[in-house]
Amino acid sequence: MTTAQRTRVKVCGLTRPEDVEAAVQAGVDAIGLVFYPSSKRAVSLSQASRLRNAVPPFVSVTALFVNAAVDQVQAVIDQVAPDVLQFHGDEQPDYCEGFGKRYIRAFRVGAPGLDTPASLLDECRRYASATAWLFDSYSAGYGGSGHAFDAQLLSKVSSATDSRPVILAGGLTVATVADSIRAVRPYAVDVSSGVESAPGIKSSEKIAAFLQSVAAA
């Protein structure tokens, strides 16, 4: 299998340096730090800086927000220096573009107005400036739900990405990720709950098993 075909992996919602180390050892391509205060996986600026310093070269750090104030996002950019931003709330294109950094736009598949292939495609096209489109399950908590969505809803998006990377998220586990990859053939997969022993506490065994399942897909 060529590198171009390899499905990349992001583990999201890390809160402990030992979990960053376990994810890196397992071979993840990216880690996600959550700056949404209502999340059980939220990290402070000082905590995030420590976690960021535990990440070696060639593993990227994504900073994740939900309807954050501009100055909060800017503080994370200034103090944590993430490689990529990720927006999970109701952020509009001009807001996402305003920070002058690459951003991933997350779409909550199944949300009102995002519950048909056509409506999802229309919404995606509004974020043509995004470096990648991430498709996650619709949940009241905006993300990290542990629930999957019907991949059929991506049927129109898959042929309209203009080669833009598609990231698949939402309830992925070691048992389901290979079938999800074969169904969608995403650029990357993103996981949080499925590799945890408790919210925000990652399991090194589950992370390693997840990466092995992705590699076997």
Which of 157, 192, 202, 210 is the binder for ligand LARABZUK (CB under 6 A)? 192
Residue 39 contacts ligand LARABZUK per CB under 6 A: yes
Torsional sign, CA 70, 74, 75, 80 = positive
Closest CA to 15 of 192, 170, 189, 139: 192
Cβ nearer to ligand LARABZUK, comparing 129 with 176: 176
CB of 10 to ligand LARABZUK, least distance (A): 7
Residue 32 contacts ligand LARABZUK per CB under 6 A: yes
Distance, CA of 18 to CA of 14 (rounded, Å): 9
Residue 174 contacts ligand LARABZUK per CB under 6 A: no
Give Rg (Cα) of the chain: 16
Tell me the window of 22-30, 53-61, 151-159, 185-193 that interacts with ligand LARABZUK (CB under 6 A): 185-193
Interface size with ligand LARABZUK, residues (CB under 6 A) = 26
Residue 43 contacts ligand LARABZUK per CB under 6 A: no
Per-residue b/e over 20-42, b at no fewer than 16 CB within 10 Å?
A: bebbbebebbbbbbbbbeebebb
CB of 196 to ligand LARABZUK, least distance (A): 8
CA distances from 158 to 62, 115, 164, 212 (A): 23, 15, 10, 25
Closest CA to 111 of 76, 153, 78, 80: 153
Which of 20, 31, 63, 66 is the binder for ligand LARABZUK (CB under 6 A)? 66
Strand (E) positions, 76-213? Answer: 84-87, 103-109, 132-137, 166-169, 188-191, 196-198, 201-202
Quick one: how far is CA 94 from the chain centroid? 21
Residue 110 contacts ligand LARABZUK per CB under 6 A: no
Which of 14, 20, 48, 64 is the binder for ligand LARABZUK (CB under 6 A)? 64
Residue 37 contacts ligand LARABZUK per CB under 6 A: no
Query: What is the set of active-site residues?
Result: 12, 136
Residue 63 contacts ligand LARABZUK per CB under 6 A: no
Residues that bind ligand LARABZUK (CB under 6 A): 12-13, 32, 34, 36, 39, 41, 64, 66, 88, 136, 141-146, 169-172, 190-194
